[in-house]
Amino acid sequence: QFTEEKLGQAEKTELDAHFENLLARADCTKNWTEKILRQTEVLLQPNPSARVEEFLYEKLDRKVPSRVTNGELLAQYMTEAANDFGPGTPYGKTLIKVGETQRRLGAAEREFIHSASINFLTPLRNFLEGDWRTISKERRILQNRRLDLDACKARLKKAKAAEAKAAVTV
């Protein structure tokens, strides 16, 4: 039935226009959700190899090791430099102050990444891995039922045509 429909040799039962609109909206929602999810992951972790590593840890249900943010790393370097120059020197005091600020910025960045992952990315993933899979499965079932219906209609039409032909020849 599917092949005959594609070749234009069989009639296709059309679905309700409102239902077709819902299917189109569902496809659009899925596509945009995937794009937003991917781009947000890139924003939160610009390093592709680190993203792959986090993905593997997630799929293996293991805890992702915490990484030092760039701000925290800079703060560590500034603090070490301040200790090298001497905390009593003007340059050392400045490095300590700026290093402490960088440390707080890095901690805030880490908290933002964690919060965005839990509160924003998790619902998007849940939609794609849960709701969308259900929608796709039900869509395939509906398509198969429609094909079965159309095949039965075609057989009935052929049977009626054969019956009419037999009645004419008798």
- Beta carbons of 125 and 37 less than 8 angstroms apart: yes
- pLDDT of res. 106: 94
- The answer to whether position 133 is within a domain reads yes
- The answer to whether position 10 is within a domain reads no
127 vs 125: CA distance, rounded Å = 5
164 vs 166: CA distance, rounded Å = 5
Q: Supply 152's token pair.
A: 């039965």
Which one, of 108, 105, 86, 107, lies nearest residue 96 by Cα?
A: 86
> pLDDT of 67-93, one tens digit each?
888 999 999 999 999 999 999 999 999
- The answer to whether position 2 is within a domain reads no
Contacts of 62 (CB under 8 A, 6+ apart): none
- The answer to whether position 7 is within a domain reads no
Which one, of 49, 64, 53, 61, lies nearest residue 117 by Cα?
A: 64
Query: Residue 86 is which amino acid?
Result: G
126 confidence band (pLDDT: 50, 70, 90): very high
- The answer to whether position 8 is within a domain reads no
Taking the model in full, what pTM does it have? 0.74
- The answer to whether position 76 is within a domain reads yes
- The answer to whether position 155 is within a domain reads yes
Domain holding 69: CATH number?
Answer: 1.20.1270.60
- Calculate the alpha carbon distances from 134 to 14, 44, 67, 131, 138 in Å: 22, 29, 35, 5, 6
- The answer to whether position 12 is within a domain reads no
> pLDDT of 97-113, one tens digit each?
999 999 999 999 999 99
State how many domains the chain has: 1
**Residue 1, pLDDT above cutoff 70:** no
Enclosing domain of residue 94: 17-169
Contacts of 75 (CB under 8 A, 6+ apart): 99, 100, 101, 102, 103, 105, 106
> pLDDT of 47-67, one tens digit each?
888 888 888 888 888 887 788
